[in-house]
Structure 1
Amino acid sequence: MPVQDQTARRLAAVMALLVAVCGLAVAASPATAAPRPLAAPGENGDDGEGGSKSLIEQLEDASSGYVKAKASLKKSKQQQTDLTAELKRLDAALGPQQDALDEIAQQAYTSGRMGTLSALVTANSTDSFLDRVETLATVAAQQNAAIADLKTTRSDQQRAKIAIDTAVRDQQKQVNVMAKRKTQAETALKKANQGADAGQSGDGGGSASADPAPSNAGNGCSEDDPTSGGCITPRTLHALKQAKSDGFTRYVHCFREQNSGEHPKGRACDFAADKSGFGGDATGASKTYGNNLANYFINNAEKLDVLYVIWFRRIWLPSSGWKSYSGAGGDPSSDHTNHVHLSVN
Structure 2
Amino acid sequence: MTPTVRRTRRRAAHLALLLAAVFTVVSGLSPAAPAFAEPNEGSSKTLAQLRENLEVAAKGYLEAQAALEASQASQKALNAELLAAEADTERLRSFVAQYAAEAYKTGKIGMVSLMINGTEPGSLLSKASAMDRMTQRDEARMNDYRARKQEVTAKKAAIEIQLKLQQDAFKEIEKRKKAADQALRAVDGRSSSGYINPNSPLAKPAPRNANGSWPSEGCSIKDPTTSGCITPRTLWAMNQAKANGFKRYVSCHRSGGGGEHPKGRACDFASATGGFTNYSASGGDRTYGNNLASFFIKNASRLGVMYVIWYCKIWINGAWKTYDSAGSNCGDNPAGDHTNHVHLSML
**1:265-284, aligned counterparts within 5 Å?**
265-279=263-277, 280-284=279-283
- Code of the aligned partner of 1:270: D
Looking at structure 2, the residues matched to 205 and 141 of structure 1 have their Cα atoms a distance apart, in angstroms, of 61
Structure 2 length-normalised TM: 0.76
2:121 maps to none
Distance 1:240 1:326 in 2: 26
Question: 1:332 aligns to what?
Answer: 334
* Residue matched to 1:251: 249
Question: What one-letter code is carried by the residue in structure 1 that aligns with 2:152?
Answer: Q
* d(CA) in 2 for partners of 1:31, 1:211: 39
Structure 2 vs 1, CA of residues 269 and 344 (structure 1 numbering), >3 Å: closer, same or farther? same
Deviation at 1:105, TM superposition (A): 4.7
Q: Distance in 1 between matches of 2:327 and 2:101?
A: 88
Q: 1:170 to 1:204 in 2, by over 3 A?
A: closer
Amino acid in structure 2 at the alignment position of 1:152: A
| Paired positions, count | 293
Partner of 1:183: 178
Relative to 1, partners in 2 of residues 1:235 and 1:34: Cα closer, same or farther, differing over 3 Å? Answer: farther
Report the Cα offset of residue 96 of structure 1.
Answer: 2.1
Residue in 2 that maps onto 1:14: none
Structure 1 counterpart SS, 2:338: coil
Change (3 A) 1:206 1:105: closer
The equivalent residue for 1:123 is none
Tell me how far 1:146 sits from its aligned partner: 2.2
Amino acid at match of 2:321: K
Residue 163 and residue 344 in structure 1: after superposition, are their counterparts in 2 closer, same or farther (change >3 A)? same
Question: Is the alpha carbon distance of 1:88 and 1:203 closer, same or farther for their aligned partners in structure 2, counting shifts above 3 Å?
Answer: closer
- Aligned identity (percent) is 40
Contact persistence 1:219–1:267 (CA under 8 A) = no
Please tell me whether the aligned partners of residues 225 and 251 of structure 2 are also in contact (alpha carbons under 8 angstroms): yes
Match in the other structure for 2:144: 149
Q: Where does residue 36 of structure 2 map in the other structure? A: 36
SS in structure 1 at match of 2:94: helix
Which residue pairs with 1:62 in the alignment? 57
Deviates more, 1:54-63 or 1:253-262: 253-262
Q: 2:205 aligns with which of 200, 212, 222?
A: 212
Answer yes or no: is the 8 Å Cα contact 1:268–1:342 preserved in 2: yes
Output the CA distance in 2 between the equivalents of 1:205 and 1:80.
28
Matched residue type, 1:303: R
Give, in whole Å, the separation in 1 of the partners of 2:176 and 2:216.
22
List gaps (5 residues or longer) in structure 2: 1-11, 24-29, 109-128, 210-214
CA shift, 1:36, in A, is 1.0
Asked whether the 8 Å contact 2:196–2:297 carries over to 1, the reply is: no
How far does the alpha carbon of each residue in 1:232-285 deviate from its partner, in whole angstroms, 9 at most, with x for none? 001100001011111111110000023421111100000000111111111111
Q: Which amino acid aligns with 1:198?
A: S
Looking at structure 2, the residues matched to 229 and 288 of structure 1 have their Cα atoms a distance apart, in angstroms, of 30
Residue pair 1:46, 1:327 contacting (<8 A) in 2 also: no
* Structure 2 counterpart SS, 1:52: helix
The one of 80, 89, 95 aligned to 1:94: 89
Q: CA deviation at 1:288?
A: 0.9
The change in CA–CA distance for 1:228 and 1:34 in structure 2 (over 3 A counts) is farther
RMSD, aligned α-carbons = 3.1
1:194 is matched with 188
Q: Which has the larger radius of gyration?
A: 1
